[in-house]
């Protein structure tokens, strides 16, 4: 954990970690007997699902909950469904998880052909949405979005993480191939590549515009890339996609290249693991692997009251279960020992001004939090720029009173969207 320096007149600067000069090959985690797959749809008690406990699932089979479902997942293995149940996220949104028990004998089913994927966006969207890196194919295939720019990011969006940088460096050929496939597949006029300053691959992309992203946190966040490199001022309350810009990670592009090479979906996800001692390991594991097995193989012991953070120290989310599955969009897992978890408080804001000084979006956080604490979400959005927040977490990181400012803001945005949906 990076602490405040003794002399703190100047703002603390947090920097993204650069990739080490001579990166090691990632450790491969054994494919587990039971995989957990998530389907981004709520389980309805009144309707029969297409898959039931005990049903067989073939390798590469699309798993949908209902006939009319648009959300799906693809099974990396052949096996039987052991369980279907509800999975709840931070804000109480419910999706569905399936536990799939792998067949002992995978070879017999390996003859199973993947459904054909042709290089057009509809076909890709029909099978490749859950590739490692979670390619935003749904958005790319959506004609209503009117996208005009696609930004492929070789940057990691949180501190300590080096997953995307490692992939961009070591799988450059696939990255370029994937960019070519994307270019022919989508009709987006402008495709750009965002490369970290420290990564020396900027000249590799001849036919694509490249941006050099500074190592200062949070320069790699989408809103700041829009502002600094595309000269688009992010509109509060709108996603970059609504403004015509789609972001896609390097891993997603590489996965697409590999999927078209092999003519089957791929499931090997690269992941940065930060252990309790801060040691960094990169691993490769099958999507759906429970985190518990990864920790076991890496000899990371999880005790009661430890914290498992999915994502980085600034923007991640803590999971409640060691059985949490590896998902396509996870770049990093951080484990914190119970003793180093910083304490929070319910103190009021003392108006010290550190959050206002550090906020990259110039939000009056000191005033905003007073409205959010009083549940006045509309006022917070109208007068105090709630929706301008780019969710970097710096305000809560520096808060002297240790108020969970970032959570107040996230909750505020969530409640605001609920309020607006009601009208």
Partner 1 sequence: MINRKLTVSHAPFWHDGDSLFQMNLNIMLAALPAVIFGILHFGGPAVGVLALSIASAMLWELLFNVVSKDPISIGDLEAAVIGLIFGMMLPATTPWWVVVTGTFVAVVVGKMIYGGIGTNPFNPALTGMAILMLSWPVFFDADAALVSYEFDYPALAPLAALKYQGIAALDQFAVSDLLMGKQVGAIGSTFGLGIILGGIYLILRGYIRWEISVSFIAGIILTAFIFHMGNPDKYAPAMFHLFSGYTLLGAFFLATENSSSPVNTIPMFIYGFMGGVMIILMRNVGVYADGTVLAILLINLVNPLVDTIRPKALGKGVNNA
Window 325 to 344, contacts with partner 1 (CB under 8 A): 334, 336, 338, 341-342, 344
Closest contact distance (angstroms) between CB of 397 and partner 1 is: 5
Q: Which residues contact 182 (CB under 8 A, 6 or more apart)?
A: 150, 152, 191, 248, 253, 256
Beta strands in 203-355 (DSSP E): 209-213, 245-249, 268-274, 280-286, 307-310, 317-319, 332-336
Q: How far is CA 33 from CA 74, 98, 250, in A?
A: 17, 13, 29
How many binding residues for partner 1 (CB under 8 A)? 78
CA dist 423 and 420 (Å) reads: 5
Tell me if 86 contacts partner 1 by CB under 8 A: no
Kindly tell me the burial class for residue 183, based on how many C-beta atoms sit within 10 Å of its own C-beta (0-12, 13-18, 19 or more).
Answer: middle
DSSP state of 283: E
Question: Which residue of 70, 112, 200, 317 would you call a contact of partner 1, by CB under 8 A?
Answer: 317
A 10 A CB-CB count for 271 gives 22
- 100 vs 34: CA distance, rounded Å: 6
| 79 binding partner 1? (CB under 8 A) | no
Looking from the CA of 190 toward its CB, the CA atoms found within 13 Å total 15
Q: Answer yes or no whether residue 292 interacts with partner 1 by CB under 8 A.
A: yes
Nearest approach in angstroms of CB 180 to partner 1 is 32
What is the Cα–Cα distance from 150 to 45, expressed in whole angstroms? 39
Asked if 83 touches partner 1 (CB under 8 A), the answer is no
Identify which range of 60-68, 170-178, 281-289, 316-324 contacts partner 1 by CB under 8 A. Answer: 316-324
What x/- string results for residues 196 through 235 when contact with partner 1 is judged by CB under 8 A? ---------------------------x---x----xxxx
Least separation, in Å, of the C-beta of 179 and partner 1? 28
Which of the ranges 51-59, 169-177, 278-286, 317-325 carries the binding residues for partner 1, by CB under 8 A?
317-325
In the complex, least distance from residue 58 CB atom to partner 1, rounded to whole angstroms: 27
406 touches partner 1 (CB under 8 A): yes
Q: How far apart are CA 228 and CA 214, in angstroms?
A: 11
Residue 421 in the binding site for partner 1 (CB under 8 A): no
Which string of DSSP letters, residue by residue, matches 13-26? --BPPPPPSSPPPP
**Of residues 237-266, those binding partner 1 (CB under 8 A):** 243
Helix (H, G, I), strand (E, B) or coil at 112: coil
Give the footprint of partner 1 on residues 6-25 (CB under 8 A).
6-9, 12
Exactly one of 107, 277, 304, 339 binds partner 1 (CB under 8 A); that residue is 304
Phi, psi of 35 (to 5 degrees): -105, 145
Closer of 256 and 380 to partner 1 (Cβ)? 380
Beta bridge partners, 35, equal 100
Residue 357 or 418 having the CB closest to partner 1: 357
Which CB, 127 or 409, lies closer to partner 1? 409
Residue window 143-162: x/- pattern of binding to partner 1, with contact defined by CB under 8 A: --------------------
Binds partner 1 (CB under 8 A): choice among 4, 47, 56, 122: 4
Chosen residue from 349, 372, 380, 416 binding partner 1 by CB under 8 A: 349
180 or 237: CB nearest partner 1: 237
> Starting at the edge strand that comes first in sequence, how are the strands of the sheet with 56-57 ordered?
34-39, 94-102, 79-88, 56-57
Length of the chain: 423
- Told to check if 299 binds partner 1 by CB under 8 A, we report no
Binding mask 36-75 for partner 1 (x = CB under 8 A): ----------------------------------------
Q: Which residues in 369-388 contact partner 1 (CB under 8 A)?
A: 385, 388
Verify binding: residue 306, partner 1, rule CB under 8 A.
yes
Nearer to partner 1, 106 or 297 (CB): 297
Q: Is the dihedral of CA 401, 406, 412, 415 positive or negative?
A: negative
How many CB atoms sit inside 10 A of residue 321's CB? 11
Among 31, 236, 297, 376, binds partner 1 (CB under 8 A): 236
């Amino acid at each position: 954990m990076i602490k405040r320096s003794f002399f703190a007149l100047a703002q603390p600067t947090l920097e993204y970690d650069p990739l080490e000069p001579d990166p090691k090959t990632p450790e491969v985690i054994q494919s587990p007997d039971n995989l957990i797959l998530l389907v981004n749809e709520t389980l309805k008690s009144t309707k029969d699902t297409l898959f039931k406990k005990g049903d067989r699932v073939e390798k590469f089979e699309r798993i949908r909950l209902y006939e009319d479902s648009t959300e799906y997942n693809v099974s990396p293995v052949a096996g039987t469904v052991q369980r279907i149940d509800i999975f709840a996220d931070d804000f109480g949104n419910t999706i569905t998880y399936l536990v799939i028990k792998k067949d002992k004998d995978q070879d017999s089913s390996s003859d199973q052909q993947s459904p054909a994927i042709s290089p057009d966006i509809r076909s890709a969207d029909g099978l490749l949405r859950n590739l490692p890196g979670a390619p935003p194919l749904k958005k790319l295939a959506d004609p209503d979005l009117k996208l005009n720019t696609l930004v492929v990011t070789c940057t990691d969006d949180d501190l300590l993480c080096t997953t995307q940088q490692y992939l961009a460096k070591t799988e450059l050929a696939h990255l370029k191939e994937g960019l070519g496939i994307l270019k022919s597949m989508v009709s987006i006029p402008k495709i750009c590549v965002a490369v970290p300053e420290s990564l020396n691959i900027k000249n590799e992309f001849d036919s694509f515009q490249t941006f050099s992203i500074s190592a200062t946190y949070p320069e790699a966040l989408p809103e700041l890339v829009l502002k600094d490199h595309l000269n688009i001022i992010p509109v509060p309350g709108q996603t970059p996609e609504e403004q015509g810009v789609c972001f896609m990670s390097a891993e997603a592009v590489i996965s697409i290249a590999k999927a078209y090479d092999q003519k089957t979906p791929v499931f090997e996800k690269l992941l940065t693991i930060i252990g309790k001692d801060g040691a960094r390991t990169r691993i490769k594991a099958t999507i759906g692997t429970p985190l518990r097995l990864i920790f076991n193989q890496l000899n990371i012991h999880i005790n009661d009251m430890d914290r498992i953070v999915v994502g980085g120290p600034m923007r991640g989310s803590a999971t409640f279960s060691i059985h949490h599955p590896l998902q396509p969009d996870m770049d990093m897992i951080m484990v914190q020992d119970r003793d180093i978890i910083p304490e929070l408080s319910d103190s009021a804001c003392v108006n010290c001004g550190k959050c206002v000084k550090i906020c990259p979006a110039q939000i009056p956080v000191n005033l905003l939090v007073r409205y959010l604490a009083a549940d006045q979400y509309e006022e917070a959005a109208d007068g105090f720029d709630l929706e301008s927040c780019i969710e970097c977490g710096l305000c809560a990181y520096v808060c002297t009173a240790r108020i969970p400012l970032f959570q107040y803001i996230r909750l505020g945005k969530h409640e605001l969207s609920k309020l607006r949906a009601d009208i």
